[in-house]
Amino acid sequence: MNLIVFIDICSTLGFGVAFCFAFFISKDHIYYQTRFLLYILMGLYFVVGLTNIAEHAGITSFFDPYEEYLEILFMAFFLFFMYSIIAKLELVKQLEGEAALKKALEKAGAEQSKSDAILAAIGDGISIQDRDMTILFQNEIHKKMKGDNVGSFCYQAYEQNSKPCKGCPVVASFHDGKVHKEERSVPVPNGTRYVEITASPLIDQNGEIYAGIEVVRDITNTKRMTEEVLRAQKLESIGLLAGGIAHDFNNILTALLGNISLAKTYAASDDKVIAKLVAAEKASLRARDLTQQLLTFSRGGAPVKKVMNVNELVRDSSNFSLRGANVKCNFTMPDDLWQVEVDPGQLSQVVNNLVINADQAMPEGGIISVSTENILLAQDNPMLIVPGRYVRITFADQGHGVKAEDLPRIFDPFYTTKQDGSGLGLATAFSVIKNHGGHITVEPGSGAGAKFFVYLPATEALIEETPAQNDTVYKGEGKVLIMDDEDAVRSLVQEMLAHLGYSAVSAANGEEAVDLYQAAMKENKPFDAVILDLTVAGGMGGSEASRILLTINPAAKILVSSGYANDPVMANYEKYGFCGIVPKPYKIHEMSKKLREILGASAKLQ
């Protein structure tokens, strides 16, 4: 066997083995049509190999004329086969690329969703501006705040300026690469919105600033809470002063009003003297009412409340405030208005202040629309007060309105826009409503004018009957101890009690009162009643003296009297061991009635 025949045999056997191996090629690596071509090619080459063996071995040359045709056919099929293989590889590569791209897009989508969720959860408005101040991105919250302005210059879209805004924190961050913050107020239809803007630079891998990110946080509620705290602190500071003034003023009025009422009993037969005393008494009572404005500010002041429907009070107080004015009120008041628990005098004062303000805002005349309505406040109400049932009283005028810059300070003590104003009217109204667990707010009216809203918590309690006025003076008998640090008050009360039939002893402070009480107990001549002043300058006051007297005699009958009519002790006297209260200033019939109540049958009607 020559070498050529041996090579032909080996080549043919090799193709035969390859032919068998082709049956096991995976369909993932080769098309079905390409596999069929491979079988044909292998078969053709195997036949060519056999003919070569037969020819080169000298067996037969019969197939030699067909060999060239077979080789040409083999070459055509082989080229097509190679093309199919290359196409398959390219397709596989393309599919793998598409799969990788799809996976990358899915991952990017997941990351985008995560980023969007994070940006939404932050709760702040976020935008990105490039170095030219073009808006590149806004999250949904920022769009709600400012509108969708992507692609616009921020200073044009937000502030309608022709160049970057002065003091812009984003521009500042571009200059020094630091974080900058700024607070701004933004006028809105219902008042003012306060926002905090935080700007930070975005830096690329080369350390260059290529954009800035702006975070806008709505701090309106926080600002309001801060303003409420500051306003409360101001009111408390004024309260310290006002309470002291009211106390001293009431001591003076006690001596004045008490002496007038006592003089009336002495001059019962002289009609002219009685008329003058009655006029002086009325003037003193008006002065007593004025102290209530000061007491409104006093620390710990508690209004004397009663359950009522406020429709009549609001109507009467409004009309009273407009006597002789060229302004009138239009009332809208439902019959089914919920009941509230209020101090009628203090609420009248609030109505008077608001109506007078509205009247002064309309010097040419006009209409004040006054309405009451039932309203339910939700947990997230803009007033930041306890949710629940409220009665809302609205005062809407047609005046010059309230300027935006005045809104944040309009309820501050001593803040006024009037040349002759004191700045206490709206501050008093604010303090009164706050002490009632409610809220008062203001907003510009539709067009001209302003609207004030008063919110008072509703109650399920029944309306209380108002007792008839009784000026009867009651006589009595017994021994009474008086403690007051004012000489004039002590002298007056002693004379009052003597006129009523009582034996009175006075003390200037709590220590002296305790000593006198102990001495009377040892002599077996105890006091039937004790009247203690609540506040004593530089000495023991009524609360401490009462506690000691009750340890000496748990059955002691003690009245508390004070010029601090709104003091917590006066509002909850039983909690401190007292039998009753006699607020200063008082008249003789008020003192006689209170002594009759605690001493019972020992009192005699005059």
Domains of the chain by residue range: 3-99, 123-218, 224-297, 310-459, 474-605
Are residues 330 and 398 in contact, defined by beta-carbon separation less than 8 angstroms?
no
Q: Give Cβ neighbours of residue 606 (< 8 Å, ≥ 6 apart).
A: 472, 473, 474, 475, 592
How many CA atoms does the CB half-sphere of 392 hold within 13 Å? 16
When pLDDT is averaged across residues 296-302 and rounded to a whole number, the result is 50
Q: Is the dihedral of CA 422, 427, 433, 439 positive or negative?
A: positive
Flag whether pLDDT at 208 surpasses 60. Answer: yes
12: pLDDT confidence band, cut at 50, 70 and 90? low
Architecture of domain 123-218: 2-Layer Sandwich (3.30)
Q: Is the dihedral of CA 520, 526, 528, 530 positive or negative?
A: positive
Looking at the chain, the whole-number percentage of residues with pLDDT higher than 70 is: 68
DSSP-derived 3-state class of residue 387: coil
User: What CATH class has 474-605?
Assistant: alpha beta
Beta bridge partners of residue 504, listed in sequence order: 480
Flag whether pLDDT at 177 surpasses 70. Answer: yes
Residues 458-486: tens digit of each pLDDT: 998 876 665 555 678 888 889 999 998 88
557: pLDDT confidence band, cut at 50, 70 and 90? very high
- Measure CA of the first residue to CA of the last residue in the chain; give whole Å: 163
Flag whether pLDDT at 538 surpasses 70. Answer: yes
Say how many C-beta atoms besides its own lie within 10 A of residue 62's C-beta. Answer: 10
Name the token pair of 458.
């509703």
300: pLDDT confidence band, cut at 50, 70 and 90? very low
Are residues 196 and 217 in contact, defined by beta-carbon separation less than 8 angstroms?
yes
Q: What is the CATH number assigned to the segment(s) 310-459?
A: 3.30.565.10
Flag whether pLDDT at 439 surpasses 70. Answer: yes
CA 532 to chain centre: 43
Are residues 403 and 368 in contact, defined by beta-carbon separation less than 8 angstroms?
no
Give the span between the Cα atoms of 595 and 444, in whole angstroms. 53
Counting DSSP H helices and E strands in the chain, the numbers are 16, 19
Among 567, 563, 568, 559, residue whose Cα is nearest residue 592 = 559
Q: Which amino acid is at 17?
A: V
604: pLDDT confidence band, cut at 50, 70 and 90? very low
Architecture of domain 224-297: Orthogonal Bundle (1.10)
Residues in the chain: 606
